[in-house]
Amino acid sequence: MTDTITNHLRNHLLQSLGVPTGPVRRMPSLDELRAMQGSERFAWLCKNRMVLGAFRYGLLEEQRHGSPYDNIGSAVRRLELYERTGNTECLCNAANLCMIEFEIGRHPTKHFRAADDGIHTEKKR
């Protein structure tokens, strides 16, 4: 009886704080997560656009020696275009532009440092 009352009180307090209660869900293994947390179709479509882009913009390797393109500004414009039109090709193009910037970006303090900066995706209301 005490265990039931204790669990009831604990669940009530947690729910009032907005903490989910109930059975604990087992997280998949890291290998399972790596297989699940992505989209092969999206990656395939992005890669195809990079192949076609080689004909239009040149090889990525060639751009390492000086790219005349504004990758960040172009990526932002593609995201804005996606919001207006819903054309998911814009998402592939934006992702590719971000990847190119990651690889050959010219930002003066370009670096990679994994951190939880407190900026997270917001839920729609």
Residue 113, domain member (yes or no): no
Residue 117 lies in a domain: no
> Does residue 41 contact residue 56 with C-beta atoms inside 8 Å?
no
Tell whether 88 is covered by a domain: yes
Would residue 80 count as lying in a domain? yes
Residue 98 and residue 112: Cα distance in Å, rounded? 14
Please tell me the predicted confidence (pLDDT) of residue 98.
97
Give the pTM. Answer: 0.73
Q: Is residue 86 part of a domain?
A: yes
What pLDDT score was predicted for residue 11? 75
Here the tokens at position 119 are 């900026």
Between 35 and 42, where is the model more confident? Answer: 42
Q: Check if the beta carbon of residue 69 is closer than 8 Å to that of residue 57.
A: yes
Asked if the structure places residue 6 within a domain, the reply is no
Check: CB of residue 73 under 8 Å from CB of residue 67.
Answer: no
2, pLDDT greater than 60: no
pLDDT tens digit sequence for 38-53: 999 999 999 999 999 9
Under the banding of pLDDT at 50, 70 and 90, the label for residue 117 is confident
Domain range enclosing 90: 42-106
Q: How far apart are CA 54 and CA 75, in angstroms?
A: 17
